[in-house]
Structure 1
């Protein structure tokens, strides 16, 4: 039997599992389909024996992974000296910018858009929805208008219960699309702005199957959980029913709804989160400055964010907030307003990210138009952390993590170990974002 191997770096992502499920069902008597998440000797040997290797890449950083590039070169060299050829294709969120992928990775093509529809066609030799190099020229065959998506069952690996993504073994997909306009996010362009929800019966079947395979903790994904079955307005009754029925299967202490928009929660939905899940929500607050929120096109403001935090607390729900620092338009006063917001909100947990220019987003365009010397991610920090040799973005990331620790609902003592963890987090993010920014400048003509 022929072989297809799907590589999903570090984690079995839901998208990779879904493609695996589609291919296993479509080619069940022709191809043996397997998922791997590590680049070790076993997986490399599996790649070498495969007819197709599908790289499911969800971060721009993967395009700069030296180990991945070495494995690709090994496969291509093996193709030169053997009659058996291994075709290598890339899919996942990075497929939104195929020109960069094809210049960085020596692969046979990039599968464009949602892979469930296109990937089986590519395996059968069709080139619709495929970007590839031909005589040194990049050919982009855009997929035809999307038919109604046929939600398929995922291929679940045997060791799925051993992985942890922010505490959950797996993030399941309940719907696709986002009605938001956030300038830093690629979801609306990748999946569209219309909400396409998966039938509840299929979701429940998947939850039962994940549980059988050893999954203990499930997170409901989709960008904003409460948009499930969204039409012109949030159908909160369907969202609440979703939580109730999934909770019956997995248990309320094993279910989370990580990401929610502050403008799509109310007392009923938050009460359901309290009753049927671990009792947490995570809001994408991003900034305490209305000016920056407007620039990000968040559709919210400081007052709405604070009201949503307080409402969750009134419903007995713990609140985590994510923040972005180092936005090209973020001035010192904007950053200080974010620190003030954290004081007022007294969140239960805080996540801080340095602004990432995901190719073909509005934030990416803004960063491309910002001179390097004025970009906080490259600009040297000359303030209180000068001795640590940080950039301005790194200093704000580090400072906000320290500051948030003092103003959490249950603050921790700032030990040397915690100080070091936060400093390393800021430096690592800074290095990664500089590498991504340099990459997009390298391929500016394609963006």
Structure 2
């Protein structure tokens, strides 16, 4: 059997992982660009989709229809599988591979239906997986051009563990992977890093939601995390390793020292808001004081700090937004990232948005004739954050980039909100 896995524009770790598991039995190709010639030579095509927008993508929809006319088997996988009802109503596919697919995907290709959602007449049948996979898996299927890929500066993000202890209302990780931390063996990760390097990957980022939760059992076991950084750094060099994602409540001086000694020396905190009320609404488990302390501690340890912020959360008021601006001025972050609140499938925030009228959301309220309130706050915060960086670089060109980014986010997230409201009655 010939299997093609398509991951839009990016070779995601998940797509490479499943490819590595299947390659021992099947002839597997991995694509990041649509290729009808390769599709036609395939018996099965798996679309590994990581954004709700992919469901609406015209080119993806046309490719799926093309494959079905050619009598090919087509499955959807990836984090969009959290809403199989939407996919099966929107796309003409044979099924949706739900949840973690390492165990179920090979079985589904042989005709098993565990881990598969599909249509049976007008009825949607969802068979959730019954077991969690072992994370110490065969080597991924690594494309020869992996070194040309850039995801926030890294050629690839590799997985060290799954699960998250947090309760953030906007995050899918605990819903998808669970709250228990499952960590891979260091030797397995090191072997994989060496393989990526052999195939041309120069810069690697390690992830799992919160990097320092690697090895977590009943408490944080930072020694394992530090050992992991040291071993990977010895292979790649510290300037080619990053650990971008951290919670402020799972760092300390030892962890930050290891980040400084063994990586590019940056930490990326999910700050999200400068308002304690919004942080409480988001169930972040932190507050303004804890966030500022973690930022200051990183600076004292010689680590540069980036922070992510979410604007237009459903309960965010003008006062909450202004508190976020105040926080940014006080924090003086080295870099910031701003996102308009996006309803990711199966999150509490998505349910909260579905309980509201669309017209009450800040993405649908007009700030001026060109921008919604949400888009303006995104643009304004990007510009404001630039002003308080150590070396601000504001220019007319940068203003335009930030404005276009805010508009694009607004356009994309409105499409996502529109489609989840379309299926509100069947997904709630």
Same fold (TM over 0.5): yes
1:402 aligned to 354, 364, 383, which one? Answer: 383
2:103 is paired with a residue of what secondary structure? helix
Q: Deviations over 1:197-218 (max 9, x none)?
A: 0100010001101001001100
Partner of 1:422: 402
* Whole-angstrom distance in 2 between the partners of 1:192 and 1:269: 24
* Whole-angstrom distance in 2 between the partners of 1:148 and 1:115: 11
Matches within 5 A, 1:277-288: 277-288=263-274
Kindly indicate whether the alpha-carbon contact (under 8 Å) linking 2:363 and 2:372 is maintained by their aligned counterparts in 1. Answer: yes
2:55 aligned to 60, 63, 80, which one? Answer: 63
* Whole-angstrom distance in 1 between the partners of 2:131 and 2:186: 26
1:424 is paired with a residue of what secondary structure? helix
Partner of 1:83: none
> CA offset at residue 149 of structure 1?
4.5
1:37 corresponds to 2:35: no
* Whole-angstrom distance in 2 between the partners of 1:126 and 1:244: 42
* Whole-angstrom distance in 2 between the partners of 1:328 and 1:173: 31
* Whole-angstrom distance in 2 between the partners of 1:233 and 1:13: 30
> CA offset at residue 228 of structure 1?
0.3
In the superposition, the TM-score normalised over structure 1's length comes to 0.94
Kindly indicate whether the alpha-carbon contact (under 8 Å) linking 2:181 and 2:216 is maintained by their aligned counterparts in 1. Answer: yes
Matches within 5 A, 1:224-303: 224-303=210-289
Partner of 1:432: 412
* Whole-angstrom distance in 2 between the partners of 1:113 and 1:263: 28
Matches within 5 A, 1:34-433: 34-39=29-34, 43-79=35-71, 86-146=72-132, 148-381=134-367, 386=368, 389-412=370-393, 414-433=394-413
* Whole-angstrom distance in 1 between the partners of 2:403 and 2:9: 23
> CA offset at residue 152 of structure 1?
3.1
Structure 2: tracts of 5 or more residues without a match:
none
Q: Deviations over 1:358-414 (max 9, x none)?
A: 121100011111212210011111xxxx35x100100000000011110012211x2
> CA offset at residue 49 of structure 1?
1.3
> CA offset at residue 96 of structure 1?
1.1
Partner of 2:4: 5
2:364 is paired with a residue of what secondary structure? coil
Kindly indicate whether the alpha-carbon contact (under 8 Å) linking 1:4 and 1:33 is maintained by their aligned counterparts in 2. Answer: yes
* Whole-angstrom distance in 2 between the partners of 1:359 and 1:248: 39
Q: Cα distance 1:148–1:172, how it changes in 2: closer, same or farther (>3 A)? A: closer
Kindly indicate whether the alpha-carbon contact (under 8 Å) linking 1:53 and 1:88 is maintained by their aligned counterparts in 2. Answer: yes
Q: Deviations over 1:6-47 (max 9, x none)?
A: 00001000000000000012x1xxx210100012xxx21111
Kindly indicate whether the alpha-carbon contact (under 8 Å) linking 2:102 and 2:133 is maintained by their aligned counterparts in 1. Answer: no
* Whole-angstrom distance in 2 between the partners of 1:49 and 1:137: 31
1:353 is paired with a residue of what secondary structure? strand
* Whole-angstrom distance in 2 between the partners of 1:350 and 1:341: 12
> CA offset at residue 438 of structure 1?
0.4
> CA offset at residue 416 of structure 1?
1.3
The RMSD of aligned alpha carbons is 0.9
* Whole-angstrom distance in 1 between the partners of 2:135 and 2:271: 31
* Whole-angstrom distance in 1 between the partners of 2:132 and 2:160: 19
Kindly indicate whether the alpha-carbon contact (under 8 Å) linking 1:151 and 1:198 is maintained by their aligned counterparts in 2. Answer: no
Q: Deviations over 1:424-445 (max 9, x none)?
A: 0000000011000000000101
In the superposition, the TM-score normalised over structure 2's length comes to 0.98
> CA offset at residue 150 of structure 1?
4.6
Q: Deviations over 1:80-106 (max 9, x none)?
A: xxxxxx110111101111101111111
* Whole-angstrom distance in 2 between the partners of 1:147 and 1:290: 38
> CA offset at residue 145 of structure 1?
3.4
Q: Cα distance 1:184–1:138, how it changes in 2: closer, same or farther (>3 A)? A: same
Q: Cα distance 1:210–1:149, how it changes in 2: closer, same or farther (>3 A)? A: closer
* Whole-angstrom distance in 1 between the partners of 2:182 and 2:36: 37
1:352 is paired with a residue of what secondary structure? strand
